[in-house]
Amino acid sequence: MKPVKLYTALAAALLLAAPMVSFAQEAEAPAAEEEESPISWTLAATTDYVFRGVSQTNEDPAFQAGITYTTPFGLYVGVWGSNVDFGDPDPEAGIRGPNFEVDGYVGYNTDLNDSWNLDVSVVRYAYFGETSGQGSIDYNEYIGKLTWNGPVSVSGLVAYANDYGNSEADELYTAISASYEVGYGITLGASTGYTSIEAEEGGRADYFDGSFTASKSFGPGTLSVGYYDTFGSDADELKDASDIYDDRIVATFTIAN
C-alpha cells in the first residue's frame, strides 16, 4: 500500500523477468531438434505476496499465475495475476479495496554479448474488485534491467511511473540484486532497492527494501525461502502506521515450464 502519510492506496506488482527464448537447431544433425515453445508460464503459491519489501496481501497467502509469449528476436508480451489485499479505505461508507491484481506487460530482451543482457519493458498494473467509490489505482511503469552473467549473476534495475497509483505522483525505484548457484539445484540471492515517491502537491516518501533468499529446484518446481524488510528514511514511520512494512520470512513454491 502507498506510504500512509501521503497516499490513500498503494498500487503494487511486478516480478516479471521474461527470459528470451532461443531456438536451437544443428544443421548437421540427422534430425532437426525440436524448437522451444514461444509460450512460457508460471504458477506459484506464496505465504505472503511481497513487492519491493511491502506485503501486498496484508500478510496473507497469495496464489499467482503468469503467461508470456516471446518472439525469436526478443520481443515479448504477457500477463500476470495475483490476489491482493490493501485494506478497505472506508468500510463504513462501503468503500472496499481491490481483491485482484492483473499486470499486462510488453518488453524486449536481448543478449548484448556473452555476459551482458538487457531487458526493457512497460507494465500496466490493474486492480479489480474495489467498489466504485474508491476510484481506480491503475498505473503504468517503465522498467529497464541490465544483467551481468558471470560466476555471480548481478542485475541493476530502474523503474519509473509518472502517475503512480493514478495519484499524479512520480515514483522512482532503483535496485541491485545478485544470485549465486552453489550447486545441487540451490541458489542464494540478495537484493536492495530504493523507493522514492513524490506527490504533485509536494509530499514525499522514501524508503529502502532488502532481501536474502535461498531456493532449491525440484524438476519443474522451485521452493524458495526469503527474508524481506524495509529500512531507512521513512521506513520507521511507515512501520508504525502499518504492519505491511515490517520484516518477514516468506516461502514460495513455483512451477514453470
* Cβ partners under 8 Å of residue 181, min gap 6: 187
Residue 235 has pLDDT above 60, yes or no: yes
Helix (H) or strand (E) holding 241: helix 235-241
pLDDT for the residue numbered 14: 29
Q: What is the pTM of this model?
A: 0.85
Q: Tell me what pLDDT residue 132 has.
A: 64
Flag whether pLDDT at 127 surpasses 80: yes
Q: Which residues contact 144 (CB under 8 A, 6 or more apart)?
A: 118, 119, 120, 157, 158, 159
At 201 the three-state DSSP class reads coil
Q: What is the spatial distance between Cα 1 and Cα 85, in angstroms, rounded to a whole number?
A: 9
Q: What CA–CA distance (Å, rounded) separates 102 from 138?
A: 10
Residue 201: the pLDDT is 78
Residue 176 neighbours by CB under 8 Å, 6+ apart: 154, 155, 156, 157, 191, 192, 193
Confidence of residue 90 (pLDDT cuts 50, 70, 90): confident
From the centroid of its chain, how far is CA 211? 13
How do beta strands 54-55 and 62-70 pair? unpaired
165-197, pLDDT tens digit by residue? 999 999 999 999 999 999 999 999 999 999 999
Q: Using one digit for the tens of pLDDT, what is the confidence trace for 2-33?
A: 443 343 333 333 233 333 223 233 344 455 55
Residue listed under C-alpha cell 549473476? 153
> What's the Cα-to-Cα distance from 149 to each of 113, 118, 156, 157, 189, rounded to whole Å?
10, 11, 12, 15, 14
Among residues 224, 227, 223, the alpha carbon closest in space to that of 249 is found at 227
Radius of gyration (Cα) for the chain, nearest Å?
A: 19
Cβ(171)–Cβ(142) below 8 Å: no
> Is it the case that residue 116 has pLDDT exceeding 80?
yes
Report the distance separating Cα 18 and Cα 35, nearest Å: 18
